[in-house]
Amino acid sequence: MMTLLKLCLLFSLLSLALSHDATFNSHLLPRPLILEDIDTQLKEHEEEINLQCTSWRFAAETNNLIPWKTIPRECAGYVKDYVTGRGYKLEMERVSNEAGVYAKTVLLSGDDKDAWIFDIDETLLSNLPYYADHGYGLEIFDPVEFDKWVEKAVAPAIEPSLKFYEEVLNLGFKVFLLTGRSERHRSVTVENLINAGFRDWDKLILRACDDHGKLATVYKSEKRSEMVKDGYRIRGNSGDQWSDLLGFAMSDRSFKLPNPMYYIP
């Protein structure tokens, strides 16, 4: 839609430019001014898209949006540029750095009951190769296609998360992996995590039969409640969805990784 609009704008300005062409003196004016106008207008259009999509991204990342199924069509290019560019990397690094600073300030009790929870998808493992083939969130989520991808067990590690994961282990936290993936994907998930460099987690929790159909917020809160009942203190929690972090039995401190591609309630 927006690309169409852009093209229309370009053509209408171009025809305007051509109709005036004869009056230009190419020696005095190295470039026809009207082309600069097109440049300016396209640039303004680009800036407007950038502004609107940044505003949308902030609303998404701060959990202000009404549940959404796909990214806004006009933000397709913006989201692609962001997740494949330096912005996404930088933000990933910053989350892990800040979480690292916090983790070091936590006084562990020495009873092996201080826990850190990690989500898996878009938190430890990146599904960017899958989303690259599916419009970076522009297509409605296809569970069948996504399962095929999961079963390949080739999702790469998010590097700053892997580094932070190691720090958490070294500091002596118990590590719980709490994922919305199904129990039937346990072995491929373990395989993928190990191949990506993750190790020594205390427990990997996946959705059992009776967890399917629950909202992620509820399922994850219930699992955290069980940890608390088992005497664990949840000192930190890292996830790319607010449904990883909110609800009940919440962590002392949560860290929200960026994810402008999809939303899980």
Answer for which of 56, 118, 198, 201 binds a copy of itself (CB under 8 A) is 56
Beta-bridged to residue 239, according to DSSP, are 256
CB of 118 to a copy of itself, least distance (A): 15
Asked whether position 64 contacts a copy of itself by CB under 8 A, the answer is yes
Asked whether position 30 contacts a copy of itself by CB under 8 A, the answer is yes
Asked whether position 258 contacts a copy of itself by CB under 8 A, the answer is yes
Asked whether position 160 contacts a copy of itself by CB under 8 A, the answer is no
Answer for which of 1, 4, 22, 66 binds a copy of itself (CB under 8 A) is 66
| Number of shown-chain residues binding a copy of itself (CB under 8 A) | 29
Asked whether position 54 contacts a copy of itself by CB under 8 A, the answer is yes
Asked whether position 51 contacts a copy of itself by CB under 8 A, the answer is yes
Asked whether position 59 contacts a copy of itself by CB under 8 A, the answer is yes
Tokens linked to 78: 């913006």
CB of 56 to a copy of itself, least distance (A): 7
Binding residues for a copy of itself, rule: CB under 8 A, are 30, 51-52, 54-59, 61-66, 86-87, 90-91, 94-95, 98-99, 101-102, 254-256, 258
